[in-house]
A = this chain, B = another copy of it.
Amino acid sequence: MKIIVDAFGGDNAPVAVLQGASAAVREYGVDILLCGNRQKILDTAREHGIAMDNMDIAHAPEVFDIHEDPTKILKAGADTSLAEGFRRLVMDDGDAFVSAGSTGAMLVGATFIVKRIKGVKRPALGAVLPGETGPVMLIDTGANVECRPEMLAQFAAMGGIYMNKVLKIGSPRVGLLNVGAEDTKGDQLRLDAYKLLSESGLNFVGNVEARDALAGVCDVLAADGFSGNVLLKSTEGAVGMIMKNIKSALTKSMLTKAGALLIKSGLKEMKAKMDYTEYGGAPLLGVCKPVIKAHGSSNAKAIKNAIRQAADFTNTGVIKQIGDIIKNNY
């Protein structure tokens, strides 16, 4: 198993990427193909004492700027580490591709270089989130800001296959993100998608409100990319704000600082439970090869987990099953 990794994607690249990739080699026995500036990779590894065993380099001189127009990945940005990753994936120089770089450029690269699975209307970005009772996949989280009902039904089907194959959830419960639980709620898109999902053969549990997204009522939550993105980022924002407030509450006085020491183990456990890096990154579902978008702020552990996830994604036949299901049902 060889995973292609964009060495220069994300806020903490290349150091965190190299550290994470090196840890993945040791822990999971995978081989790695790092894409990026060869000299910079070697210098970074030396400087930080990162073992390069089982890691090859595919040289690409440039880095794709996350503020750049995503479509530039195809021409002007062809000499970036991100573009090189997609090319290597298509050439079968590796089994899967992981990057923490530009989401938009990854979508363009996956759609136009790797290409869609036959019958898939749009690839979608499915984020695996730590829910109250286990992982929940929210799909789409931003790849498609304008959707048709049949796209939402496909997102649900693809997400269900991923959760079943990779996270071993039998008959994943599928929900539809909506403004109310009753089947009469929402706009025309939701009303039509509700009907399609009801008739889809999926284990459809109906509409799910945003406040219950992570409450354990569903394993897959289908959404258009706009509201899925809002859900993902507002949850992130709320968690960040509370954690900041907790920290300031705990360091308020000598007394609270003493208290903080006593509750340390409990807080650690809580943080671990809500750790978004635990399940890796966001799989891009609907394209012909496994592509994982790691979070832009990924640390070494998040990169390592995204690589493990890419290996699981490859091993479990998700893509073949998406092809079969879409061909026969959608």
A238 within 8 Å of B (CB atoms): yes
Instruction: For A186, give the chain B residue with the smallest CB separation.
Output: B145
Contact indicator per residue, chain A 210-248, by CB within 8 Å of chain B (1) or not (0): 111111000000000111011111111111111001101
Specify how many copies of this chain sit in the oligomer. 2
CB distance from A146 to the nearest CB of B (A): 5
Cα A146 to Cα B239 with chains together (Å) = 29
- Collect the chain B residues with CB atoms within 8 Å of residue A209's CB: 233
Cα A255 to Cα B262 with chains together (Å) = 6
- Collect the chain B residues with CB atoms within 8 Å of residue A270's CB: 242, 245-246, 248-249
- Collect the chain B residues with CB atoms within 8 Å of residue A177's CB: 230
Cα A188 to Cα B233 with chains together (Å) = 21
> Which positions 172-191 of chain A face chain B at CB distance < 8 Å?
177, 179, 182, 186-188, 190
The answer to whether B265 and A262 have CB atoms under 8 Å apart is no
A51 within 8 Å of B (CB atoms): no
The answer to whether B211 and A233 have CB atoms under 8 Å apart is yes
A132 within 8 Å of B (CB atoms): yes
CB distance from A222 to the nearest CB of B (A): 13
Cα A213 to Cα B253 with chains together (Å) = 30
Instruction: For A145, give the chain B residue with the smallest CB separation.
Output: B187
Cα A234 to Cα B233 with chains together (Å) = 9
CB distance from A19 to the nearest CB of B (A): 26
CB distance from A190 to the nearest CB of B (A): 8
Instruction: For A240, give the chain B residue with the smallest CB separation.
Output: B211
Contact of A234 among B188, B231, B259, B260 (CB under 8 A): B231
A256 within 8 Å of B (CB atoms): yes
- Collect the chain B residues with CB atoms within 8 Å of residue A225's CB: 179
Cα A263 to Cα B179 with chains together (Å) = 37
Contact of A215 among B182, B210, B241, B262 (CB under 8 A): B241
CB distance from A214 to the nearest CB of B (A): 6
Contact indicator per residue, chain A 276-304, by CB within 8 Å of chain B (1) or not (0): 00000000000000000000000000000
The answer to whether A252 and B227 have CB atoms under 8 Å apart is no
Cα A308 to Cα B252 with chains together (Å) = 32
- Collect the chain B residues with CB atoms within 8 Å of residue A186's CB: 145, 226
Contact indicator per residue, chain A 253-273, by CB within 8 Å of chain B (1) or not (0): 101101111110111011001
- Collect the chain B residues with CB atoms within 8 Å of residue A274's CB: 242, 245
CB distance from A233 to the nearest CB of B (A): 4
- Collect the chain B residues with CB atoms within 8 Å of residue A211's CB: 233-234, 236-237, 240
Contact of A237 among B190, B214, B260 (CB under 8 A): B214
The winner among A230, A245, A260, A262 for most chain B CB atoms within 10 A is A230
Known contacts A145-B179, A256-B266, then 17 further A-B pairs from the complex at CB < 8 Å, ordered by chain A residue: A145-B187, A179-B229, A179-B230, A210-B231, A210-B232, A210-B237, A213-B237, A230-B230, A235-B238, A242-B274, A246-B270, A249-B263, A249-B270, A250-B266, A252-B266, A255-B263, A256-B262
Cβ contacts A to B, 14 pairs, < 8 Å: A211-B240, A214-B241, A226-B227, A227-B227, A235-B237, A235-B238, A242-B242, A249-B266, A249-B267, A255-B265, A256-B265, A256-B266, A259-B260, A263-B263
